[in-house]
Amino acid sequence: MIMEQRLLEDALSIHLRRELVKSLNRNDKWNRIIDGLRTYRIPVFLNVDRMNDMMGRGMNPANWVLEELFDRMCSFDEFCVMLREFDLLEELALLTPAEPMVIEVQPGNGEDVRIENGEVLQLTCIASGLPRPTYQWYRDNTPIPGQTSSLLSIPSFTEEMKGVYYCVVKQEIRGHIATRNSTEVTVDRLSMRPILLSNLPRIRSVLRGQTLLLTVQAEGYPEPRYEWYRSPPRSEDAVNDCFMPNIVLDNETSNALEVKNIGPQDEGLYRCRVYNEAGETFSIKCTLSIFDRPPDYIASAKIALLIGNEEYRDRELKGLHAPSNDVATLAEILEDLGFHVIALHNLTYSEMLNAFKWFCRILPENAYAFFYFAGHGFSKLASKFMMPVDCPKDEIRLNDCLCDEQLTQILSQGNPLQLLVMLFDCCLVESRDLSIGRTEFEHDLGNCNIVLGTATRNHQNAYESNKDANGLFVNQLKSHLAEEIPVIEVLRANQREFREKQQQPTIFFSGADNCSLTDPVKDNPQLQEKLRSELNFQSYEQEIYFSKTNEHFKIHISKHKNCFLNSIDLRFPDNFTYNFSVEVNPSDVKLKVKQRVVTVYNIQKVKSSLFVTVSINGLRQADDGFVAGPHDICQFTVDCPIITKGQLWHQNNVEPH
DSSP per position, 296-349:
P--BS-EEEEEEE----SSGGG----HHHHHHHHHHHHHHHTT-EEEEEES--H
Rounded to whole angstroms, the Cα distance separating 221 from 192 reads: 5
16-38: pLDDT as tens digits: 888 888 888 888 787 788 777 76
pLDDT at 47: 56
185-243: pLDDT as tens digits: 999 988 889 998 888 877 676 778 888 889 898 988 889 999 999 988 764 444 444 44
CATH topology of domain 100-189: Immunoglobulin-like (2.60.40)
The answer to whether 615 and 583 are in contact (CB under 8 A) is yes
The answer to whether 633 and 613 are in contact (CB under 8 A) is yes
pTM above 0.75, yes or no: no
Closest CA to 174 of 127, 131, 128: 131
Q: Which amino acid is at 457?
A: R
The neighbour count for residue 402, using CB atoms within 10 Å, is: 24
Rounded to whole angstroms, the Cα distance separating 526 from 541 reads: 28
Q: How far is CA 563 from the centre of its chain?
A: 27
The answer to whether 461 and 158 are in contact (CB under 8 A) is no
The answer to whether 294 and 514 are in contact (CB under 8 A) is yes
Give domain limits for the chain: 8-96, 100-189, 192-234+245-291, 301-434+441-532, 537-646
- DSSP for 240-272 reads -GGGS--EE-TT--SSEEEE-S--GGG-EEEEE
pLDDT at 372: 97
So what's the architecture of 192-234+245-291 in CATH? Sandwich (2.60)
The neighbour count for residue 364, using CB atoms within 10 Å, is: 18
pLDDT at 328: 96
CATH topology identical between 192-234+245-291 and 537-646: yes
Beta bridge partners of 7: 75
The answer to whether 270 and 232 are in contact (CB under 8 A) is no
3-state helix, strand, coil in the chain (%, to 5): 25, 35, 40
pLDDT at 48: 60
Domain 301-434+441-532 in CATH 3.40.50.1460? The answer is yes
Q: How far is CA 449 from the centre of its chain?
A: 28
pLDDT at 473: 93
So what's the architecture of 8-96 in CATH? Orthogonal Bundle (1.10)
Helices H / strands E in the chain, number of each:
13, 37
Phi/psi region, residue 267 (left: phi>0; alpha: psi -120 to 50; beta: rest), is beta
C-alpha angle with apex 108: 112 to 106, nearest 5 degrees?
130
Beta bridge partners of 453: 423, 507
pLDDT at 42: 53
pLDDT at 455: 93
Q: How far is CA 104 from the centre of its chain?
A: 42
CB < 8 Å & 24+ apart, contacts of 166-170: 166/107, 166/137, 166/138, 167/107, 167/123, 167/125, 167/135, 167/136, 167/137, 167/138, 168/135, 168/136, 168/137, 168/138, 169/101, 169/103, 169/125, 169/127, 169/133, 169/134, 169/135, 170/133, 170/134, 170/136
Residues 6 or more apart from 266 whose CB is under 8 A from it?
A: 212, 230, 259, 288, 290
Q: With a cut of 70, which residues of the chain have pLDDT below it?
A: 1-4, 38, 40-59, 203, 205, 234-245, 291-296, 432-443, 640-646, 648-657
Residue 213 burial by CB count (10 A; 0-12/13-18/19+): exposed, middle or buried?
A: middle
Q: Which amino acid is at 128?
A: S
CATH code, 537-646: 2.60.40
pLDDT at 295: 54
Q: Report the DSSP pairing between strands 203-207 and 286-291.
A: parallel
The answer to whether 545 and 561 are in contact (CB under 8 A) is no
pLDDT at 430: 81
Closest CA to 408 of 398, 397, 395, 417: 417
Q: Half-sphere exposure (CA, 13 Å, Cβ side) for 586? A: 10
Residues 6 or more apart from 243 whose CB is under 8 A from it?
A: none
